[in-house]
């Protein structure tokens, strides 16, 4: 069965967008404009830029979390951070 539930990153984006719209386009104002057929075209460019910036920032943070979860811990390479050599070129045989 396919799970259509949004993941944590999507929920964060939706929450951010909800707060952004509540701050810049209150529901009462939106209803008033809708009743009087007043478009909100004057706010679209500015709001669009904000939405893209917020979504991009949230996406980057999600990618960083994934990347850090996949990275190898520093102690795996040894205390000095160098790989141990083996074989004919030196180091432990």
Q: For residue 29, count other CB atoms closer than 10 A to its CB.
A: 12
- Taken as a whole, the chain contains a residue count of 93
Written as six digits, the tokens of 22 are: 């509540």
Split the chain (93 residues) into runs of 10 and give each run's mean pLDDT.
Answer: 89 90 83 85 69 79 80 55 51 50
Q: State residue 80's pLDDT score.
A: 52
Sign of CA dihedral 25, 27, 32, 35: positive
Q: State residue 47's pLDDT score.
A: 64
Q: State residue 49's pLDDT score.
A: 73
Q: State residue 44's pLDDT score.
A: 67
pTM: 0.37
């Amino acid at each position: 069965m396919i799970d259509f539930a949004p993941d944590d990153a999507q929920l964060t984006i939706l929450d951010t967008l909800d707060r952004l719209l509540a701050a810049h386009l209150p529901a009462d104002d939106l209803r008033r404009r809708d009743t009087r057929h007043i478009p909100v075209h004057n706010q679209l460019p500015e709001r669009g830029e904000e939405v893209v910036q917020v979504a991009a920032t949230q996406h980057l943070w999600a990618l960083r979390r994934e990347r850090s979860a996949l990275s190898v811990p520093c102690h795996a390479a040894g205390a000095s951070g160098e790989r141990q050599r083996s074989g004919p070129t030196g180091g432990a045989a």
